[in-house]
Chains A and B, each alone.
Chain A
Amino acid sequence: MDILNNILAGQVPIEAYLCVSLIMFFAGIYGFLSRRSMLMILISIELMLNAADINFVVFNRYLFPGHLEGFYFALFTIAIAACETAVAIAIIINIYRNLTSVEVGNLDQMKE
């Protein structure tokens, strides 16, 4: 009840943020493992990255108030994630051109 009271009082505790990021992260893992489409897998990866971003920001805010490193890390991660997505999409497009499919289960030709 403490948590609820605190939230209602405008004081959001750190656990609430961590819960959200935890749920996002495991939703990402679940998506990564269960989805067949590569685009959906990519989205799942983004979800995991965003969960990590939230963690950066939250820990910075609660553990080191007045510092800015966590925020900058979050910004960097967003930028890198954008680049990574661009590369990933390019790869996926190329795979689609070759296989006319983006099913990840079809991509096992390189095992030998």
Chain B
Amino acid sequence: MQYTLLILVLPLLSFIVLGLVDSKWKPKVAGTIGTIVLGIVTSLSYYTAWEYFTTHKINGVFEKIIPMNIEWIRFTEFLHIDLGILLDPISVMMLVVISMISFMVNIYSLSYMHGEKGFQRYYAFLSLFTFSMLGLVLATNIFQMYIFWELVGVSSFLLIGFYYTKPSAVAAAKKAFIVTRFADLFFLVGILILSFYTKTFDFGALTAEHTTVFAGSAGATFLGFGVISWAMAGIFIGGAGKSAMFPLQIWLPDAMEGPTPVSALIHAATMVVAGVFLVARFFPVYYFQTPEVLHGVAYIGAFTALFAAVIACVQTDIKRVLAFSTISQIAFMMVALGVSGYEGHEGTGFMASMFHLFTHAMFKALLFLGAGSVIHAVHSNEIKDMGGLRKYMPITNWTFLIACLAIAGIPPFSGFFSKDEILSASYEFSPYIGGIMTFVAALTAFYMFRLYYSIFWSKDYTIKAAAHGHDDHGHGHTPHESPFAMAFPLVFLAAVTCVAGFIPFGEFVSSTGADYHIHIDPTVAIMSVVIASISILVATLMYRKPTATPDKLAKTFSGLYKGASNRFYIDEVYLFITKKIIFNSVSRPLAWFDRHVIDATMDGFANTTQWISLKIKGVQSGQVQQYAYVFLLGTLIIAAIVIIF
């Protein structure tokens, strides 16, 4: 299956060409090239998936195949960095998700970004992102993954800061980059510890079922935990940074400053699930070597899911609501991995996590693209500027509704199936975690329908003379349905969302590679559907028509409301720690030392030299006779010395 290399090379070429040519080609040409390339990549990914899932099953287990692998750098006898392509069920599944969402976003952007300055640059960056993300999932070893991991971070940075003339976008881009980079430091430390003890970077060697590479680390402990636990915890922190787990979630809501299709692609469907993918990739290591870290993943995930869901209930910017919803849903996947066992029925969590990753990518991209469509129509991100849009935008309305039902977990939409599996896995692990997750699922249904009703129902839409919006060219007009290029991805993703739940996902992806038969636990399923329905009902009563209930509730729970509106002051805590503590007590003295001791020494050398040269400059008068006089004097002195001594 050598042709899988093309999946990586094509987007890279597209990036290089579009990036070099930049504004020399017309925007339309650049957009078309980017989209066509992505189309080809998508078809190749589908073909790969088809070929892989139909032909590479041995004894009922999907094998890992490596169509190509080259040695890139050799450090020691054992340790070498390879570059290659690894195909296994999860990477093939990710291939399909990434290329498909990216393709849809490319099509969508043709219309959404139409007329924007830097359209070609935008498409170049989209290609770069797609290349990096595909490289990340296809990596054969941790180091290759780390390289692409950073590339993904860079392209995310570039795309968040796409409107680089807007200070808030620049700040958001920096924040995203610095926070994820900070987390990646732990990732790197984890990789180094792991490779030091296991003497390999290779996923195949690390995740094999009866692997011996961990023998060398037996008994090595640090602060009461095994070194491998520290390494795997470090790797998880890297994943938590990208996947916006508490307390590293602060960058994701701000990342919504980027163009909406970018949010759909990077900050909803693909890049933010890289952390989940990372944990899934290392799942056997977590499960067999460091189960305590895996449980930590579950607890952090459960807390993050709850935390983000509560905040999402009170945010007023539609993209921020979706951002917090994304954090919450990714946390769901993390919980599922954390609570998962390994083989057979025990492995529900792993399968459910991947399944939810798949379905979530579809419906969350759909939600973001729908939000983009709405923003395109009303030129505002704020809920208060919307309402009653269902009359004007029927396609957006229906597709958004389908996505909301899916995320709320209503059958027969895809979200129900995956979320149900996660819930039953959680209940098997611990009733508390299960209870929390059910509560979060209820909150999810509530805030999604709050959003839905606020946008499409509620009050009638009032046309403002000067709407202030994301692109600041406010002009009052009737909101209208988006053009075909934007409507098509919505309809397509909605169709996928409708049917994806019926894919026998467990037959393709499971922790061991063997078949896993999904069976829906009726108690959990019925309970979750009932709870979700109640939540939706509550949201309907509160938000379908403008009522006083939300304000009253906000007053009753004013403390909670205020805290959630301000995202529980986590950003302020970060600012306090960085600005007040680190900057003031560490950085400032160091800067002072640098400026007044190190720089001053160097300046001293320079100043002294300059002073001396100024003083002796007069000697070079240019008067020949003066030189001759000095020469003569010197000769006489030397002669005198020679004669006397």
Contact = CB atoms under 8 A, between A and B. Distances in A.
A109 B622 contact: yes
B622 A32 contact: no
Contacts of B625: 32-34, 41, 104-105
A93 interface: no
B621 interface: yes
Contacts of A41: 625
A111 interface: yes
B623 interface: yes
15 contacts: A33-B625, A33-B628, A33-B629, A33-B632, A41-B625, A104-B625, A105-B625, A108-B621, A108-B622, A109-B622, A110-B622, A111-B620, A111-B621, A111-B622, A112-B620
A91 interface: no
B624 interface: yes
A19 interface: no
A107 B621 contact: no
A15 B624 CA distance: 33
A84 B623 CA distance: 21
A29 interface: yes
Contacts of A108: 621-623
A29 B631 CA distance: 11
A107 B625 CA distance: 11
A31 to B, nearest CB: 11
Interface of chain A: mostly helix, strand, loop or mixed? helix
Contacts of A104: 623-625
Interface in A16-53: 29, 32-34, 41
Shortest 3 CB-CB contacts between residues of A and residues of B:
A108-B622, A111-B622, A111-B620
A52 to B, nearest CB: 15
A107 B620 contact: no
Contacts of B623: 104-105, 108
Q: How large is the interface on A (under 10, 10 to 19, 20 to 34, 35 or more residues)?
A: 10 to 19
Most chain A beta-carbon contacts within 10 A, residue among B624, B629, B632:
B624
A33 B622 CA distance: 14
Interface of A: 29, 32-34, 41, 104-105, 107-112
Contacts of B622: 107-111
Interface in B600-642: 620-625, 628-629, 632
A104 B628 CA distance: 12
Interface residues on B, range: under 10
Contacts of B620: 111-112
Nearest to B623: A108
A33 B624 CA distance: 9
B620 to A, nearest CB: 5
Nearest to B624: A104
Nearest to B620: A111
Given A32-B625, A112-B620, 9 more contacts: A33-B632, A34-B625, A104-B623, A104-B624, A105-B623, A108-B622, A108-B623, A111-B620, A111-B622
A112 B620 CA distance: 8
Contacts of A105: 623, 625
B624 A107 contact: yes
Nearest to B625: A33
Contacts of A34: 625
B632 to A, nearest CB: 7
Contact of B632 (A29, A107, A109, A110): A29
Q: Which of A33, A110, A112 has the most CB of B within 10 A?
A: A33
Contacts of A32: 625, 628
B14 to A, nearest CB: 57
Interface string B415-446: 00000000000000000000000000000000
A66 B628 CA distance: 38
A110 B624 CA distance: 11
A29 B622 CA distance: 19
A32 B624 CA distance: 10
Contacts of A109: 622
A105 to B, nearest CB: 6
A87 to B, nearest CB: 16
B587 to A, nearest CB: 45
A36 to B, nearest CB: 9
A105 B625 CA distance: 8
A41 B629 CA distance: 13
Contacts of B632: 29, 33
A105 B621 CA distance: 10
Contacts of A33: 625, 628-629, 632
Nearest to A38: B624
A44 B621 CA distance: 22
B59 to A, nearest CB: 88
A109 B628 CA distance: 18
Question: Which of A29, A105, A107 has the most chain B CB atoms inside 10 A of its CB?
Answer: A105
Nearest to B619: A111
A105 B626 CA distance: 10
A104 B624 CA distance: 7
Contacts of B624: 104, 107
Nearest to B632: A29
Nearest to A34: B625
Nearest to A111: B622
Scoring B625, B628, B629 by chain A CB atoms within 10 A of each residue's CB, the highest score goes to: B625
B11 to A, nearest CB: 59
A40 to B, nearest CB: 11
